[in-house]
Amino acid sequence: MDYVASRDIRLVPSPVCSLVRKAEDRMLPSQWEALNDRLSEGPKSYSVRNLRAAAGEIEFPHAGAVFQDSDLFKWIEAASYALGRKRDAALEEKIDWLVSLMQKAQRPDGYLNTYYILTDINKRFTNLRDHHELYCLGHLIEAAVAYFEATGKREILDVTLRYVELVNATFGFEEGKKHGYPGHEEIELALVKLYRLTKDPMHLALARYFISARGTNDYFDDEAALRGDKPGWAWSVYSHRNRYYQADEPVTEMTMAKGHSVRQLYLLTGMAELAYETGDEKLMSACDTMWKDITRRQMYITGAVGQSSFGEAFTLDYDLPSDIVYGETCAAISLYFFAATMLKSHPLGEYGDIMDTLLYNGTLSGINEDGTRYFYVNPLECIPKRSKYSQSVFHVRTQRQPWYGCACCPPNIARMLTNLDERLLLKDKNTLYVNLFASLDAETQLEGGSVSITETTDYPNSGSIVFRVNRAFPGFTLALRLPGWVQTYSLKINGQNPPCVMDEGYIRISGLSDGDEISYVLDMPARLVEAHPLSHATVGKAALMRGPVVYCLEEIDNGGELWNVLISPNATFTLTPDARFGTVISAPVLKQETDGWDEYELYAPLRENKYRQFTARFIPYRLWNNRGEGEMRVWLRLKQG
């Protein structure tokens, strides 16, 4: 099973199409300005400047983080997905220029990392734990594969292959090689992608090496000793100092998500990609165990993951505080990648459900409506004045920013969105799976013949999806994801109830003929959701959802002190279409008043508190903070009895 390629799909206006267009039209150009240090506000990137300096074009010391190259590579990857749909000479000229700089910067033996080229190249590969060289190479590989596939131009691929050769000559189980692996995973999944293009067994073997060597030795401590450094530093407060890097035990022994969340999830994605490619059941079983831990015990309702600001890390099962959460945009994106890989390995609807959750909540909350400002941290509750005075939420920015000193998230959203069309449909033998819902025309080859379908929907604003089979063949099966949140739905083929089979989250429809029209209507009422009672931070609270979309209250609509709002389990919701927010939901709520409390009274015996009823206005969480700074809250106190 694999995703239906972008070239087989033509997007038609719908919410998904708008997201792809926003990424192409707004994010790519504005990020190009950022990468070239031409934004009028925010920190500078220095990533283009570093590459120019490494190429000998200008004289400048390295600036920015050691992993700054990766922002550029992610941007190239994002742009390449756009080019795959539509070539663009001006955009390609920019990338070709960057590739020409890479060619000049690359050392004779293939090495290419601006940090070490511009500082001390003799120190390269001496600090895998902290210095992200292999992480940057991973992103270079992804960029190279994407650009080559989009344009057929192979210069960037050649540069990359030379660097991979060097890395393969440097690292491995063999005697004489360094027995290391990256402190920040990413290259593992990239090497599997590269293998898929090149079919060079070395590329797969190198991915397997990095995954299977991980956590089996004390490499990070050993290399630190060679550098004359102390082993570990702040992260040592974890029970084992290598836990932060997922390097405290072999990867197949992991049972609880741990350490830096993006690293954890890129590692899992790499493991799943390798298992997908090789059929390694032990790896896939570890991925499954970790999938369950993350999505059933350590994931916010928005799909956000990584509860702790310290270490940008996972904490423990059922520890899901709304305010002090980290929920890095990149972590949500990496969970989306992990889900996408799991899905192509096994057509289980829940993988698509989580992708849906992530797309419409915890990833898109990372960008503003305009596509030019970003959140790095995605809280489920924001009290702006706390972010000013309480260190527990200093990491929670109360407004999206134009750029970050560590700007991993912006180009990551870009590459996720420009590649969104390639996560909509999958095919396996004679079955076409519909994963994420979007208006499109698709024509693709299955084993028994080619099929052509048209899909029309305003999802997630509406749960109504219409498919038209333009061309089918005998034996063709259309499998429609039935989201886990659906309580009632209707399915008609040409107005009739069809015979169909529900299996692992999909409705499988066979016997389709050319011209058949399938009306698939997922009833999408507003619903209150609660969390497992082991989640100490959410007990007694409810969140409002509609379809895959999590809603929130904002101060601009509802006033402040939102922690005092109570919602009844029986509240009646009014849904109103809204040009800006898709669907706005209103509901009567109660608000505990401060009336009757003296300003000098902090604790007092229970009293009859006053409650004011008002109509609360809920908007989709992902769209919060598009109207200035203010309080925001997802989880509301639930009125009992």
Binding site for a copy of itself (CB under 8 A): 237, 239, 292, 295-297, 299, 301, 307-311, 313, 315-316, 319, 321, 324, 383, 385-386, 388-392, 394, 487, 527-536, 539-540, 542-543, 561, 563-564, 566, 569, 592-594, 597, 599-607, 609, 637-641
HSE-up (13 A, CA, CB side) for residue 515: 0
Give DSSP secondary structure letters for 311-375: GGB---TT---SSS----HHHHHHHHHHHHHHHHHS--HHHHHHHHHIIIIIIGGGB-TTSS-B-
**Residue closer to a copy of itself (CB basis): 579 or 604:** 604
**Least distance between a copy of itself and beta carbon 437 (Å):** 20
For residues 101 and 51, the answer to whether their CB atoms sit within 8 Å is yes
Q: Which of 142, 312, 381, 631 is catalytic?
A: 312
Is residue 369 annotated as a catalytic residue, yes or no? no
Q: Looking at this protein, which amino acid is placed at residue 380?
A: L
- Give 354 or 434: the residue with its C-beta nearer to a copy of itself: 354
Contact between residue 339 and residue 556 where contact means Cβ atoms under 8 Å apart: no
State in angstroms the smallest separation of the CB of 398 from a copy of itself: 14
What is the rounded radius of gyration, in angstroms, for the C-alpha atoms of the chain?
25
Q: With respect to a copy of itself, which residue has the nearer C-beta, 174 or 601?
A: 601
How far apart are CB 112 and a copy of itself at their closest, in Å?
A: 35
CB of 603 to a copy of itself, least distance (A): 5
Q: How far is the CB of 564 from a copy of itself (least distance, A)?
A: 6
Question: What gap in Å lies between CA 68 and CA 62, rounded to an integer?
Answer: 9
User: Is 491 within 8 Å of 544 (Cβ atoms)?
Assistant: no
Nearer to a copy of itself (CB atom), residue 121 or residue 316: 316
Report the run of H or E that residue 641 belongs to, with start and end: none
Considering the complex, state which of residue 182 and residue 259 has its C-beta at the smaller distance from a copy of itself.
259
- For the bound state, the minimum distance from the C-beta of residue 280 to a copy of itself, rounded and expressed in Å, comes to 24
Q: Is 384 in contact with 630 (CB distance < 8 Å)? A: yes
DSSP for 457-495, written as a single string: E-TTS--EEEEEEEE--TT-EEEEE--TT-S-EEEEETT
- Exposed e or buried b per residue across 564-579, where buried means at least 16 C-beta atoms within 10 angstroms of its C-beta: bbbbbeebebeeeeee
Tokens of 568: 């009844």
Q: How far is the C-alpha of 109 from the C-alpha of 100, rounded, in Å?
A: 17
Q: Which residues pair with 544 in a beta bridge?
A: 528
Contact between 103 and 144 under an 8 Å Cβ cutoff? The reply is no
Instruction: Check if the beta carbon of residue 342 is closer than 8 Å to that of residue 353.
Output: no
Residue 429 CA: distances (Å) to CA of 39, 150, 314, 361, 478: 49, 26, 38, 32, 11
What's the closest the beta carbon of residue 309 comes to a copy of itself, in angstroms? 7
**Paired sense of beta strands 611-620 and 549-554, if any:** antiparallel
Q: Which is nearer to a copy of itself, 154 or 527 (CB)?
A: 527
Retrieve residue 166's tokens.
Answer: 């060097």
CA 632 to chain centre: 22
**Closest distance between a copy of itself and the C-beta of residue 291, in Å?**
11
Q: In angstroms, give the least distance from the CB of 311 to a copy of itself.
A: 7
Please give the helix or strand (H or E) that residue 292 lies within, else none. helix 281-297
**287 labelled catalytic:** no
- Tell me whether residue 36 or residue 592 sits nearer to a copy of itself (CB atom): 592
Half-sphere exposure of 353 (CA within 13 A, CB side): 15
Query: What is the SS3 assignment for 269?
Result: helix
Q: How far is the CB of 595 from a copy of itself (least distance, A)?
A: 9
C-alpha–C-alpha distance, residues 247 and 251, integer Å: 8
Q: How far is the CB of 186 from a copy of itself (least distance, A)?
A: 24
579 vs 602, beta carbon nearer a copy of itself: 602
Beta pairing class for 611-620 and 582-592:
antiparallel
The active-site residue out of 408, 409, 500, 552 is: 408
Nearer to a copy of itself, 114 or 538 (CB): 538
**CA–CA dist 232, 240 (Å, integer):** 10
| 302/439 with CB nearer a copy of itself | 302
Residue closer to a copy of itself, measured from CB, 480 or 526: 526
Nearest CA-CA partner of 168 in 109, 113, 116: 109
**Helix 155-170 and helix 89-105, axial crossing angle in degrees, nearest 10:** 30
Phi first, then psi: give them for residue 330, nearest 5 degrees. Answer: -60, -30
- Residue positions annotated with a catalytic role: 312, 408
